[in-house]
Structure 1
Amino acid sequence: MGSTRNTALEEWMAEHGYSSNSLAEAVNHALIQVTGKHGGLDGSSIRDWKAGRVSWPKTATRKALENVTGLPVSALGFAPRGRTSATSMPQEVADMKRRTLVGGIAAAVAVVSSAPGTGRRRLGMSDVDRLQQRFAEIIASDHRHGGQLDIEQRASALADQALILQNSGSATQRVRSSLYASAAAFRSSAMWAAIDGRRFDAAKTHMREAQALAEMSGEQTIKFRIWSHAGTLYRHTGRPADALAANDVARNLHLTRRDPLFASLGLAREGAIHGAAQDPAGTRRAFGQAQETMMRANPADERPVWMLGFYDQAELDSLAQSAYLALGDYPTAEFHGHRCLANLRSHMVRSSAITTTRIAHAQLAQGMADVATATATKVPTDAATQHARVNRMLQEFGAALRAQAAGSSAVQAWSEHVATWRTPA
């Protein structure tokens, strides 16, 4: 007889946004906690589970899977050979499928305290610290690659893991708040990856869940990040009034009065919104204030990893470059682009590609077709073909180049360069 597909596992993965690869990664990480060693699972291992070719994983793997999902493996469609799994979902799975609404926003919460054989334990800040390490990995991936669906899925899956952990034991209010903040942070990274990859509908879904989790956490820094990202989302979708309103929520948090660096970021993003809205005076005012406020920030102050990882003079110039490019002030946009690249940290690979592409646009708009083409060819091939925002900007560059300098050597050089790109996977 052939294998019977494990539909219970497939349904759980679909509901929680896991791919075969991301679930394998999560179980491998959980195996470190169980055995002290990284597991050897990959996407094909999970596909074997889903296809029913593996009906009863090894003991340590089963425990790790239970730690990831918060459910006994029997509830996920597994059973030893010779036995069949339960045909009806146990109560804890039904409970998991219900949604807790916070301000009308659904946040998935897996109820595991009543799961058979699951003992409640005391959660501590060490659990939070482990989540924060995973968050740092997500941030690093975003800086290198940006916008990739895999980053969005991993961040989403880790948000679910934080909620599962939240419900797996007792904890102090500080730990509870920190776990909700971690879940909100992961969800906001999923939101940002979706924005950067121009998957705007997915970004809106992540935004609503992130906002709910941030409210439960009470953590101001993550609230700032989410509402600031919301402003960026609305800016990219052509809704400047909504973008300003969302960004104002971030700027009006008490945090911005305590820390000038957060105030500066809020002002810089306001400047980018004014640029998109064709408001030159508002753009200049906001960036002038952002620069002045940044100078008052104390570099030694404690800040979250996402803030430390990206906001500095280079990012301020990147936002200014975007604003002045939108306004049609091409010399100023080019100036900010070059200054951004001069200060950009080496790990900001995605930002370098975006900034370089914008410089090419600004140069072309000033009539420097050959110079602009040489600049555009410096964008790495993987960013040019695999990053949705960069790819779109370069397509627009090519169209503008052909319209401005048809038949020129610059057009020929660009066409030959584009022909060397590999087709995106």
Structure 2
Amino acid sequence: MDTRTNAILTVLLREYGFTHRSLADEVNRISGRIFGRPGAATDRDVRRWTSGSVRWPTGRYLLPLAEIFDRPPEAMGFVPRGRTSRLPVPPAPARPGQEEPVKRRAFLTASTAASVALVLRLEETPVRGRLTGADIDRVTAAVGRLDAHFTAIGGGALLTVATAYIGRLRDAVDGCIYGPRVEQALHRALSGLYSTAGWAAYDSGDGTTSRLHHAAALQSGILAKDGYAQARAWSDLSLQTRAEGRHREALTINRAALESRQVRQSPRIAALLHSRLAIGHARTGDHGACARSLLAAEKAHDRFDTTAPPPPWLRFLDAAEIAGLAAIAHRATGRLPDAERATAQALVLLGPSMHRSKAYYGVQLAELQLAQGDTASARTTAAKVVTTAVSSPRIAQRLATVHHKLAAA
């Protein structure tokens, strides 16, 4: 039996300051709240999780672990195995006089989507009555968990879940009572949720749905009067437009986003937009502008405030991602050796929980090696790409294309 060590969970224990015993105690406490009776996890169970001898804990322990570390099971290093990956439905206390919302039942139409929804606890948002700041805090945390899920393993079932949650939040907008601040916060949350749904659609290869969600994200950002949400939406729209082959339009959108005051005040957003602008310049053949934008992205990265945590949707943007985006720009200019070096650097710098990015840049490295005629290296690289913990049809298709070309080489 394969008992490969769960290095990701080991890192999480150290990062959060848990011992085996203290994590077991916390799992038992949260299990008691979710299921109505305390769990029976021991330090021995935790050692079995970290050693890899148990690769997918029971739902009674998996749900508390997902809450403790604020991420889906795959992003904690666990590996699903067929039906054992299905999570139980935790008992939820009924609100007096409130029927079970149709939106919640919609989460349970597919086992994978149901697992994601249950782990992220999206059904807790009320759709009737008065919304308070505490409700908004829970909504914001849920949207952040969705962002973390995408960053870790990709879109996949996330599109179904995010779309259902969009419907739930829109029901809350129409059916609840709230003040002006809560209203703005609701639209801000919707903007972020639409952005995540747009990326999930993109990962699934559905460009039309992706564009609709990104446009809705911009509209919600405007209603929220939130410049950061609008900058995010503009940035995502520029990428979607570029994916559709409209490179000059994408450049115009990207420039508009860079002109906002919020971007000038946020080095992280500026670094992302300058990196994407570099790719746009490369695709239109302006190599000098591409180089200037890459330099601007590096300078913005140097100004990152490492003492303050970034918003959930920007946690993926680090030195590894900056290198990976630079590689895409180099590739578009035809500088394949530079693109290969930058992609290899991104893979070295990526953290252990970044399954989607590791798979994405692993495929990109194999593509670059293949394009340069180095089939031996491409074959070795492609064989190392791990997609068991990744939910991205787009990445899977690219990897399949690489293997097909290698087989014909």
Using structure 1 for the length normalisation, give the TM-score. Answer: 0.65
Question: Please, what is the CA RMSD of the aligned residues?
Answer: 3.0
- Highest CA radius of gyration, 1 or 2? 1
1:392 aligns with 2:397: yes
Provide the rounded CA distance (Å) in 2 between the counterparts of 1:320 and 1:187. Answer: 27
Partner of 1:355: 361
In structure 2, give the amino acid aligned to 1:293: A
Seen in structure 2, the aligned counterparts of structure 1 residues 60 and 212 have a Cα distance that, compared at 3 Å, is: same
SS of residue matched to 1:317? helix
Compared CA separation, residues 197 and 275, structure 1 to 2 (3 A): farther
Query: C-alpha offsets along residues 133-186 of structure 1, whole Å, 9 cap, x if unaligned?
Result: 2112212221232131x2012112222222322344433322211111111111
Offset at residue 59 of structure 1 (A): 11
Q: Which residue in 2 is equivalent to 1:15? A: none
- Report the counterpart of residue 378 of structure 1 in structure 2: 384
Q: 1:139 to 1:399 in 2, by over 3 A?
A: same
What is the aligned counterpart of 1:255 among 234, 258, 262? 262
- The residue that corresponds to 1:90 in the other structure is none
2:166 matched to which residue of 1?
159
| 2:254 paired with 1:236 | no
Tell me, in whole angstroms, the C-alpha distance in 2 between the residues paired with 1:363 and 1:230. 30
Structure 2 contact 271–300 (Cα < 8 Å) conserved: yes
For structure 1, the residue ranges without an aligned partner over 5 or more in a row are 1-35, 41-57, 74-111, 113-117, 407-425
Check if 1:333 corresponds to 2:331.
Answer: no
Q: Residue deviations 1:186-215, cap 9 Å, x none?
A: 111000111122210111221232222111
Per-residue CA distance 1:65-89 (angstroms, 9 max, x = gap)? 7474599x9xxxxxxxxxxxxxxxx
Q: Is residue 275–residue 326 contact of structure 1 (8 Å, CA) maintained in 2?
A: yes
> How much does 1:63 deviate?
5.9
Q: Normalized against structure 2, the TM-score is what?
A: 0.67
1:139 to 147, 167, 177: 147
Instruction: State the match for 1:52 in structure 2.
Output: none
Name the CA distance, whole Å, in 2 between partners of 1:132 and 1:343: 29
Going from structure 1 to structure 2, the CA distance change for 1:217 and 1:281 (only over 3 Å counts) comes to same
- 2:97 and 2:323 map into 1 onto residues whose CA distance is 45
Output the amino acid matched with 2:265.
R
Residue 316 of structure 2, aligned match among 295, 303, 310: 310
Aligned counterpart, 1:269: 276
SS in 2 for 1:310: coil
**8 Å CA contact 1:338, 1:359 repeated in 2:** yes
Per the alignment, do residues 343 and 70 of structure 1 end up closer, same or farther by CA in structure 2, a change over 3 Å counting? closer
Cα distance between partner residues in 1 of 2:309 and 2:178: 25
* d(CA) in 1 for partners of 2:98, 2:369: 53
Matched, 1:206 2:204: no
Aligned residue in 1 for 2:48: none
8 Å CA contact 1:184–1:213 kept in 2: the answer is yes
How many percent identity over aligned positions? 28
Identify if the C-alpha distance between structure 1 residues 311 and 63 changes in structure 2 by more than 3 Å, giving closer, same or farther.
Answer: farther
**Residue 364 of structure 1, CA deviation:** 2.0
In the alignment, the residues of structure 2 paired with residue 240 and residue 378 of structure 1 have an alpha-carbon distance, to the nearest angstrom, of: 33
1:364 to 357, 367, 370: 370
Larger relative contact order, structure 1 or 2 (CA cutoff 8 Å, min sep 6): 2
Query: Take 2:155 and 2:92, find their aligned partners in 1: how far apart are those partners?
Result: 37
